[in-house]
Amino acid sequence: MTDTDLSAFATDPETLRTALEFADPATLMLVLVTLTGDHSWLDRARPHISGPSSYQETMPDHLRSEIRASLFEVLMDYARNPRPLPPIPGGQLLIDMLETAAGTPVGEDYVAMMQEDLQPADIDPRGMVWRKRPPQSKLDAFHVIIIGAGVSGMCAAIRLQQAGIPFTILEKNETVSGTWFENSYPGCGVDTPNHFYSYSFEPNHGWSHFFAKRDELWRYFEAVADKHDLRRRTRFNTEVTSCTFDETRKRWTVTARRADGSNFDLDANVVLSAVGILNRPKYPDIPGRESFAGPTVHTGHWDAKFDWHGKRIAMIGTGASGHQVGPTIAPDVERLMIFQRSPHWVVPNPNYFGEVADGKKWVLANVPHYARWYRFQLFWAFADGLHSALKIDPNWPDQDRSINQQNHRHRIFMERHMKAELGADSPLLEKVIPPYPPYGKRILIDNDWFKMLKQPNVDLITDGISRITPEGVVTADGTTWPADAIIYATGFQASKMLAPMKITGSDSRELHDVWKQDDATAYLGTTVPGFPNFFILLGPNTGLAHGGNVIFMSECQVRYVMMCLRELLEEEHDCLDVKADVHDRYVAEVDRLHSGMVWSHTGLTNWYRNPAGRVFAVLPYRLVDYWRMTSEFRPDDYQFA
Ligand code: NAP
């Protein structure tokens, strides 16, 4: 069934009627308004919707039934009298719909983006459209190299393929999917809901859970790669070691190493780095680390043979990875000793473990507009709806606890959850309640972390680690914690962006010399002056600290890069290079905005900042701002050759 062919409903109305019972009433109401333009449904539902999540909707049963019955009739009418569906609303009606869905003011900033994002997936408005398509012979003579076949590299490859631009992907792993191939630790999964964490042009209505685990995510990306036949153009087990720009030829030479250690060169007009930033495991600099006698493993480089069953396990690190590993292995270990340097804020989510009912999957796949409105609700709950909670209000008192009123409400909510889980007088509370405002470090979803902490075989150790010995871990107070194995959940070398590749641009300048002191910068997180035709996907200041997901960011960036390539190819330029002043102004603005965000709070450590304290990794903007900035290409920002 396509989005406008609803005739199957006419032959089997009962399936539709039954499935609607499994769908979220607020989302159904938004579909109803989209199809009818009838504003009165918004007026009736609004008082009962306090936020975008399903558990924030409290409509009375009779209103829910009316919505389902009315939508059923409207859809049946389309089934019996086939005709085009109405377009996505605009203007004030769309704003009212967005605000009712979000349960909060949203504003007109979102209208243009949502008119795009609410389009059915088969329309795919983020694809590149030629203004004056160059002859195929010209395209055939052009070559793009993509480094990495992960989330962003795959997105780029799909767009290049759609545009008819030849490309080769060089991938160090044996398969596609990047992070979802590499991360295979127990409990690994997303903490952003899947119906938002998926390509806008490749929706998956069959996710088994709202928050899928790693294998299902991996299968999704593998399936997308197969559907678009990306493997044919990918050289696996091939690691890029250097990229060198030839000033005379205006082309890049990309040197790569095969699995057997031999090297080869490829020639390219354009290089897209799509290597991500969270993929090189970071081991802690603890004295004696190498002396440990038992097996060790890092979450980011898990060994499938690592066996934790019945063992005394020391786990160092309590970030997003540690929070997933701990509760997963705790029931099977003899003892789990968790070494926590600093606590994280942890938010409960009633849907975190939830399975998606078959009826809901059916509605997502078959009821027009439902999946897209649901995606908006998730976008608001897990991304831009949170942004204002992270801006420092200079007049807010006691900035060590919270930084504005909304942020304070988050604090109260999470503290209450911790107390409910652990007991109001639990001695653990002192260890787990962070001494910094919510969102100062990456927020985590409660993965039964607190339930795990209450288990008799689990210790939460907050004394600093002084050394590691062959027998185990020794803390600052002199206690030895004997262990059979150590799990390092200590994160990634985020600030070593693009390492260990050597990227040499114009005037033989090396990118890592330009980015002194781990200080990566790029215009829109994508282009660096002096590195013509070199684009960085998920580059500096594109990580997400307020929410959102890398797929959304990749789609925005790839669209922007495709506009750059269109300019090159249509206007017959050899290369483009971002102007230094444009880059510098952008970076200055990013820094200015970051100074007013919670993660710049003094005394905090997080992977967003480099050793000098500059926030190099994450975006200060709302996603809608980044979408807007990357949805147009301004030739004036670049020098062309
Ligand atoms: P991380 O957030 O950087 O956490 C590293 C942990 O190791 C922190 O608790 C850190 O303590 C601790 N640590 C580092 N060095 C230490 C030392 N020398 N001694 C003691 N403790 C030390 O790394 P991660 O958990 O792998 O997560 C990284 C990012 O990957 C996340 O923020 C997220 O963006 C992504 N991720 C996402 C998911 C998901 O569900 N979607 C899952 C996993 C990872 P301090 O806090 O004191 O520095």
Interval 351-363: pLDDT, tens: 999 999 999 999 9
How far away, in angstroms, is 504 Cα from ligand 1 center? 31
Q: Is the pLDDT of residue 418 over 90?
A: yes
How far apart are alpha carbons 563 and 579 in whole angstroms?
A: 17
Ligand 1: residue whose CA is nearest its atom 28:
491
pLDDT value, residue 121: 78
Angle in degrees, 0-180, between the axes of helices 25-36 and 91-102, rounded to the nearest 10:
170
User: What tens digit of pLDDT does each residue of 216-230 get?
Assistant: 999 999 999 999 999
Ligand 1: residue whose CA is nearest its atom 37:
320
Edge-to-edge strands, sheet with 335-339: 296-298, 485-488, 312-316, 335-339, 458-461
How far away, in angstroms, is 609 Cα from ligand 1 center? 13
Ligand 1: residue whose CA is nearest its atom 23:
491
How far away, in angstroms, is 490 Cα from ligand 1 center? 5
Q: Is the pLDDT of residue 593 over 70?
A: yes
User: What tens digit of pLDDT does each residue of 183-206 get?
Assistant: 999 999 999 999 999 999 999 999
Task: Assess contact for 276 and 148: CB atoms under 8 A.
Answer: yes
How far away, in angstroms, is 412 Cα from ligand 1 center? 24
Q: Is the pLDDT of residue 472 over 60?
A: yes
Task: Assess contact for 288 and 308: CB atoms under 8 A.
Answer: no
How far away, in angstroms, is 337 Cα from ligand 1 center? 17
Q: What share of the chain has pLDDT > 90, as a percent?
A: 95
H runs (alpha helix) in 343-404? 358-366, 370-382
Number of H helices, E strands in the chain: 21, 21
Residue 191 CB–ligand 1 contact under 6 Å: yes
User: What tens digit of pLDDT does each residue of 298-340 get?
Assistant: 999 999 999 999 999 999 999 999 999 999 999 999 999 999 9
Q: Is the pLDDT of residue 118 over 80?
A: yes
Strand-pairing partners, residue 213, are 189
pLDDT value, residue 603: 76
DSSP class of residue 603 equals T
How far apart are alpha carbons 197 and 55 in whole angstroms?
A: 20
Local confidence band at 528 (pLDDT 50, 70, 90 cut-offs): very high
How far away, in angstroms, is 338 Cα from ligand 1 center? 13
What is the pLDDT of the chain when averaged over all its residues?
96
Strand-pairing partners, residue 480, are 474
**How far, rounded to the nearest angstrom, does the alpha carbon of residue 562 sit from its chain's CA centroid?**
21
pLDDT value, residue 605: 84
User: What tens digit of pLDDT does each residue of 69-104 get?
Assistant: 999 999 999 999 999 999 999 999 999 999 999 999
Closest atom of ligand 1 to CA, residue 299 = 26
How far away, in angstroms, is 344 Cα from ligand 1 center? 10
Q: Is the pLDDT of residue 44 over 70?
A: yes
How far away, in angstroms, is 622 Cα from ligand 1 center? 23
Q: Is the pLDDT of residue 272 over 90?
A: yes
Ligand 1: residue whose CA is nearest its atom 26:
491
User: What tens digit of pLDDT does each residue of 484-504 get?
Assistant: 999 999 999 999 899 999 999
Local confidence band at 589 (pLDDT 50, 70, 90 cut-offs): very high
Closest atom of ligand 1 to CA, residue 605 = 48
Residue 549 CB–ligand 1 contact under 6 Å: no
pLDDT value, residue 4: 56
Q: Is the pLDDT of residue 7 over 80?
A: yes
How far away, in angstroms, is 53 Cα from ligand 1 center? 27
Closest atom of ligand 1 to CA, residue 300 = 26
Residue 315 CB–ligand 1 contact under 6 Å: no
Residue 276 CB–ligand 1 contact under 6 Å: no
Residue 316 CB–ligand 1 contact under 6 Å: yes
Buried b (16+ CB within 10 A) or exposed e, 520-548: bbbbbbbbbbbbbbbbbbbbbbbbbbbbb
Closest atom of ligand 1 to CA, residue 323 = 25
Ligand 1: residue whose CA is nearest its atom 33:
320
How far away, in angstroms, is 320 Cα from ligand 1 center? 6
How far away, in angstroms, is 92 Cα from ligand 1 center? 43
Residue 543 CB–ligand 1 contact under 6 Å: no
CA nearest 590: which of 551, 629, 533?
A: 629
Q: Is the pLDDT of residue 512 over 70?
A: yes
Edge-to-edge strands, sheet with 472-475: 465-468, 472-475, 480-482
Amino acid symbol at 536: I
Residue 466 belongs to what H/E stretch?
Answer: strand 465-468
Q: Parallel, antiparallel, or unpaired for β 472-475 and 465-468?
A: antiparallel
Residue 321 CB–ligand 1 contact under 6 Å: yes
Of 182, 278, 298, 321, the residue with max ligand 1 atoms within 8 A of its CB, to mutate for a pocket test, comes to 321
More confident residue, 74 or 121: 74
150's CB contacts (< 8 A; 6+ apart) are 176, 177, 178, 179, 180, 181, 274, 275, 276
Residue 449 belongs to what H/E stretch?
Answer: helix 449-453
Ligand 1: residue whose CA is nearest its atom 2:
319
Residue 488 belongs to what H/E stretch?
Answer: strand 485-488
How far away, in angstroms, is 607 Cα from ligand 1 center? 8
Residue 320 CB–ligand 1 contact under 6 Å: yes
Mean pLDDT on 546-572: 96
Local confidence band at 602 (pLDDT 50, 70, 90 cut-offs): confident
251: left (phi over 0), alpha (psi -120 to 50) or beta: beta
Of 341, 546, 550, the residue with max ligand 1 atoms within 8 A of its CB, to mutate for a pocket test, comes to 341
User: What tens digit of pLDDT does each residue of 286-303 get?
Assistant: 999 999 999 999 999 999
Local confidence band at 2 (pLDDT 50, 70, 90 cut-offs): very low
**Predicted TM-score of the model (pTM):** 0.96
Q: What share of the chain has pLDDT > 70, as a percent?
A: 99
Residue 322 CB–ligand 1 contact under 6 Å: yes
Distances (CA, A) of 443 to 192, 318, 382, 454: 11, 12, 11, 21
Residue 475 CB–ligand 1 contact under 6 Å: no
How far away, in angstroms, is 75 Cα from ligand 1 center? 47
pLDDT value, residue 1: 39
Ligand 1: residue whose CA is nearest its atom 31:
320
How far away, in angstroms, is 301 Cα from ligand 1 center? 14
Residue 607 CB–ligand 1 contact under 6 Å: yes
Of 296, 382, 442, the residue with max ligand 1 atoms within 8 A of its CB, to mutate for a pocket test, comes to 442
